[in-house]
Amino acid sequence: MRKALRLALIAATLSVAMIAFGADVPFLVGRVTDNAEILSPGMRSSLTEQLKSHEDRTGNQIAVLTVPTLDGEGIEEYAVAVFAAWKLGKKGKDNGVLIIVAPNERRMRIEVGYGLEGTLTDGTAGLIIRNAMTPRFKAGDYDGGVEAGVKNVIGVLEGGKAPDAKENADSKTPEASGLQINEPDLPVTERILFGAFIFGIIGLFTVIGILAPGVGWFLYLFLIPFWALFPIIVVGATGALYMLGIYLVVFPIAKLLLAKTTLVKKMDEGFSTKGRASIGGFSVSSRSSGGSSSSSFSSSSSFSGGGGSSGGGGASGSW
């Protein structure tokens, strides 16, 4: 399900990103491609040796790329494009990792190949970004930040742990109790756009289900997987769980409370006399034949979307 969600998210994001030109994918000239020129010559040489040594030991291919700017493109989409063009990792094993830093946008990402997602998980990549790289970047230490990211990634892939990430995570003070929502690795503007689209669609059908007599209970059950899955893109897994719980409780309560209102009575009368009722621009009908029943929905407007495929595993961050 995680992979399907990623594909849906990436396809939707790419459809928005296509309205603008993004940053070009540079040629793969080595294990470290410092196009932003933020690393010292000595550090570029040191990182190259570390990455080569790791590849000799494990076969995993790790590459570092710095670009001055993303030219308005999201770092997630750009990382997928670079990863696909560079073809990091061995064929059939997909054991590649890409570390990208874009100093102008103050954004970074660790993109992980399919074959390493079980070891270098999205959560671990996020810890490395937040605890090992971000503090050093905030201090203006690009050499130290990139090296810390590389060492932590290698540490996870070779020993199952990220030294800096684990140390900083253990030293953090306990968080205050209460509602804690784990946010996805998306900028606020993208979460707002996705939220408007997702909640506009399922929210509309939720309102129809509450107001429509009879068929509304079918919609209640039909919308459960949508409320369970799609909010994850906007508010994360914890937030989606809370929203699903609210939906499961509020929908039936609202439906029962509104059952005696004039609007619902009018709709019920429409079903009884005409076999259909209208809610806004939607026509809801109920037909029965031979002891079976079916429901249909129609509207004067429609929408369609495209699709695509990519890896998408990893995490992003900013400083």
pLDDT, tens only, 75-120: 998 999 999 899 988 888 889 999 999 999 899 999 999 888 888 8
| DSSP, residue by residue, 160-191 | S--HHHHHHHHHSPPPPSS------SS-HHHH
pLDDT at 162 over 50: yes
Crossing angle for the helix pair 215-222 and 188-211, to the nearest 10 degrees = 150
Helical ranges in 212-312 per DSSP H: 215-222, 224-229, 232-258, 262-274
Q: What is the largest CA-CA distance in the chain?
A: 82
pLDDT at 178: 47
pLDDT at 175 over 70: no
Please give the average per-residue pLDDT across 19-36, as a whole number: 77
pLDDT at 177 over 60: no
CATH architecture of 2-169: Roll (3.10)
User: Would you say 74 and 108 are in contact if contact means Cβ atoms under 8 Å apart?
Assistant: no
Domain boundaries, the chain: 2-169, 188-298
Computed over every residue of the chain, the mean pLDDT equals 75
More confident position, 241 or 263: 241
- Choose among 189, 198, 113: nearest CA to 157: 113
Q: Kindly provide the b/e burial profile for residues 220-257, where b requires at least 16 CB atoms within 10 angstroms of the residue's own CB.
A: beebeebbebbbbbbbbeebbbebbeebeeebeeebee
Report how far Cα 119 is from the mean position of its chain's Cα atoms: 19
Crossing angle for the helix pair 163-171 and 142-159, to the nearest 10 degrees = 100
Residues in the chain: 319
More confident position, 67 or 174: 67
More confident position, 276 or 289: 276
Secondary structure class of 29 (helix, strand, coil): coil
Non-local (6+) Cβ contacts of 117 within 8 A are 313
